[in-house]
Amino acid sequence: MYDNILVPYDGSDEARRGAEHGIELAAALDATVHALYVIDLPGTPRALALRDDEEEMREEYRAYGVEVLANLGNVAEEHGVDYETHFKTGAPSEEIVEFAEDEGMDAIVLGSAFRGKLGNLLGGTTDKVVRTSSVPVISQRMSVNDI
């Protein structure tokens, strides 16, 4: 049913909750986890000072991504799950959906932060992925007690 599961991961608490669920699901289904870290640089137009050191900033974001995906890889290894890492740059929700569709993922598993009633009206990355993806999305929501 699910052979390839996309787990977007940025190292946050809510992403970790979703990633753990994705890894457990992959272990139960003997699926491969594809962990994706999206480098999300500040929006355009950027301040001139940011543009000058954009490459340095991109390298720092990538180094952080390598670190958090390696840590997640250790969790996958503990569960005996095949694990691959991937990197993209851009708007997280768009890159997640595009990657899942282009790479033939069977499901996307991610965490969702508890943002209260007002936050739910505004929507976040998980909400955008759910609304725009043609690939099934499983979200693991954090509760107020998880904060």
pTM for the model stands at 0.86
Omega into 45 within 30° of 0, i.e. cis? yes
Using an 8 Å Cβ cutoff, are 83 and 77 in contact? yes
pLDDT tens over the chain, length 147 residues:
899 999 999 999 889 999 999 999 999 999 999 999 999 876 555 554 555 677 888 899 999 999 999 999 999 999 999 999 999 999 999 999 999 999 999 999 998 875 555 445 446 888 999 999 999 999 987 654 544
Domain boundaries, the chain: 4-141
Using an 8 Å Cβ cutoff, are 18 and 140 in contact? yes
What's the fold here for domain 4-141?
Rossmann fold (3.40.50)
